[in-house]
Amino acid sequence: MFRQSLLPVAMVLALTACSPSADKTADAGAAPAATPAPALGSGVEQANFDAAIAPGDDFYRYINGTWLRNTPIPAEKSNYGAFTVLADDAEANLRTLIEQAGAQTAPAGTDTQKVGDFFKSFMDESRLEELGAKPIQSVLQQIAATKSREDLLVLSADLNRIGVQIPAGIFIDNDAKQSDHYITYLSQSGLGLPDRDWYLSDDNKTHKDARTAYVTYITRMLTLAGYNRAKVASTAVLNIETRLAEAHWDKVKDRQADLTYNKKTLDDMHSMAGTIDWRKLLQALGVNETSVVVQEPSYLEALGKIWPQVPLQDWQDYFTFKTVDAFASDLSDAFVQAQFDFKGRVLNGQQALKPRWKLGVDAVDEALGEVVGKLYVENYFKEAAKQRMDQLVENLRGSFKAGIDELEWMTPATRAAAQQKLAKFNTKIGYPKTWKDYSALSVDAADLVGNVMRSRRVEHQRAVDKLGKPINRDEWLMTPYTVNAYYNPPMNEVVFPAAILQPPFFNVAANDAVNYGGIGAVIGHEFSHGFDDQGRKYDGDGNLREWWTEADAKAFSERANKLVAQYSQFEVLPGKFLNGEFTLGENIGDLSGLAVAYRAYKMSLKGKDDQVIDGFTGDQRFFIGWAQVWRRLYRNENLEVRLTSDPHSHSEARANGVVRNFEPWYQAFNIQPGSKLYLKPEQRVKIW
């Protein structure tokens, strides 16, 4: 399926916008009495503290230790933290809205009918049990009927349309070097395990065990689908994926924006991987372009060699499994359980499958996200939160502007260009100005797999239709109820969905200090992504080009490398450490985001000292606000996956890794040499 490139999505974060209602009652005929504004609280969640831990030894556990010790991870989850609670609340709200739609007798073709009937088709478990694997048999028969690789190549285009993974990722996005145009991107793909390392490392027991479990999973899925060579096929699938993994770029190289932009004509593509007719594949996908951007050229060259070497039957095994895997969650319970046992239990350590209604909400979200998003905004989002967020964003922009002016290591020419880029940042808050049109989607309450296939075809066509058209600057890559935020380099935009505007990130009943440490740092983080080690390579118009002087680029890299070394020392699991190069962009976002937020907080005080509330100074509350939003528990299996696939550091490193580089934190909590987190002043990193 064509996908929108999510690019470096900032961090999974949450904030809440509560708007306390004023008391409007008054004696008839009398002038209303002036009601004093309620005193703002500290926003500090002291019940979560662990006073036995010194803040300078482990600030993360000093703030969150009691919560971490006493909170169980729900059986259905691989990790659980502050933002997860908000996601659960949003999920429950969506259930209410979706079930309300289903209770109505809505005219066919209306958004209400589509939402209600899509959910009904997912919740009709008796029908799904009756159907078993029948809904995908016609697709499996098409794969089996192919007589040549050319036939299978053309068929793979249609499989891609309906969300089946193929060895090449294909998506539409802004041309990174001509950001006012759309272009097609080709990338490495085709793996079922989290990362290439899971296929290639023999010294990691977790990875070896996962490969064994993966073969068992493939066999189980193909057997359920009635495939008569399931066991042999499972070995063929693993062998193909291992060869693909050997050609994949590693995760550090693959995040380099300049290395992954390689514009090629279709004639160039033929020279790179002549055994694959890329023109025919792209035309079968509806793409009639003369040029594409290849993200990993050596991978496509290798794929061109692998494609003819692997027997046709093995490729049929591969595509058959990928099809079953793509629709397992929409088939009978045996398929659902088999997929959960591997992807949930083995890879992420989950102990129980999510309740059926939650899986149904996920299905509606994938197919009709902005329809239910509009309902969510109408019912649960307060415009006052958006207005407050507008103000905070501009405060943070002003803080970032001041910070750029103060940089001692940046030359005037680069500083001026950085200011121009910052001034051009576009901010989106809450929800889209224009909602997506789903009129092309047909939904049948008795046809779940058909609904899923049709919805994916609609989204595929929505993406293809962008080619040759003006850039849609109103488009969102997240729904309003997503507890997250992101920065998109080619659009030079920062985006904050409605659901993140909630406590503990944003608490309207709390004094500003804790909010600047929470939502302020979130905003600063997103701004900082425009200037992290990859975001800095894009100019104010979103074009990938070199706008830094050589001296400035060198000075930036020296600071960034010190951060790489620091984070590479965080031990996530026994003997397993963060990859500081892989997580560098997010770590810069955290470090610079907190610095920008702190500067904005101090600017908001206009030279005055903040009050002491609940025994904490304003500066202390600011840093507490930062640390308490990161409380999160992980299952070890989930941490293993994150180490190789998630560019974010785990929560402990996000909380502790930043403050130890920040002088105001040392002053706020009187951190002295000898504390475990203490860094000498010359060891501390400041970038923005």
Give per-residue pLDDT as tens, 534-556: 999 999 999 999 999 999 999 99
User: Tell me, what's the pLDDT at 333?
Assistant: 98
CA distance 13 to 159: 34
* CA distance from start to end of the chain: 39
pTM of the model: 0.92
Residue 126: pLDDT over 80: yes
User: Tell me, what's the pLDDT at 382?
Assistant: 84
C-alpha closest to that of 514 among 435, 618, 390:
618
For the chain, give the number of residues. Answer: 688
Q: Which amino acid, 378?
A: E
Give per-residue pLDDT as tens, 105-119: 999 999 999 999 999
- What CATH number belongs to 46-72+382-426+502-683? 3.40.390.10
Q: Indicate the helix (H) or strand (E) that contains 494.
A: strand 493-497
CA dihedral of residues 311, 315, 316, 321 (deg, nearest 10): 140
Give 492: exposed, middle or buried? Use CB within 10 Å, 0-12, 13-18, 19+: buried
Binned at pLDDT 50, 70 and 90, residue 389 comes out as confident
Pairing of strands 79-81, 178-188: unpaired
User: Tell me, what's the pLDDT at 41?
Assistant: 87
Residue 147 corresponds to which tokens in the numbers above? 């007589």
Residue 385 corresponds to which tokens in the numbers above? 């939160």
User: Tell me, what's the pLDDT at 38?
Assistant: 53
Residue 32: pLDDT over 60: no
Give per-residue pLDDT as tens, 51-86: 999 999 999 999 999 999 999 999 999 999 988 999
C-alpha closest to that of 330 among 124, 190, 161:
124
User: Tell me, what's the pLDDT at 40?
Assistant: 76
User: Tell me, what's the pLDDT at 508?
Assistant: 76
Give per-residue pLDDT as tens, 608-638: 999 999 999 999 999 999 999 999 999 999 9
Q: Mean per-residue pLDDT for 141-165?
A: 97
Q: Mean per-residue pLDDT for 467-489?
A: 95
User: Tell me, what's the pLDDT at 8?
Assistant: 32
Mean pLDDT, the chain, integer: 92
User: Tell me, what's the pLDDT at 506?
Assistant: 83
Residue 357 corresponds to which tokens in the numbers above? 């209604």
State percent of the chain over pLDDT 70: 94
Q: Mean per-residue pLDDT for 201-220?
A: 96
Q: Mean per-residue pLDDT for 586-612?
A: 96
Q: Which residue has the tokens 């309740």?
A: 355
User: Tell me, what's the pLDDT at 39?
Assistant: 65
Task: State the SS3 of 564-617.
Answer: HHHHCCCEEECCEECCCCCCHHHHHHHHHHHHHHHHHHHHHCCCCCCCCECCEC
Q: Mean per-residue pLDDT for 1-9?
A: 30
Give me the residue spans of the domains in the chain.
46-72+382-426+502-683, 81-132+331-381+438-457, 135-329
Cβ atoms < 10 Å from Cβ of 548: 19
Superfamily of structural domain 135-329: Neutral endopeptidase , domain2 (1.10.1380.10)
Pick the more confident residue, 386 or 228: 228
Examine residue 38 and say whether the peptide bond preceding it is cis (omega within 30 degrees of 0). Answer: no
Give per-residue pLDDT as tens, 227-268: 999 999 999 999 999 999 999 999 999 999 999 999 999 999
User: Tell me, what's the pLDDT at 30?
Assistant: 32
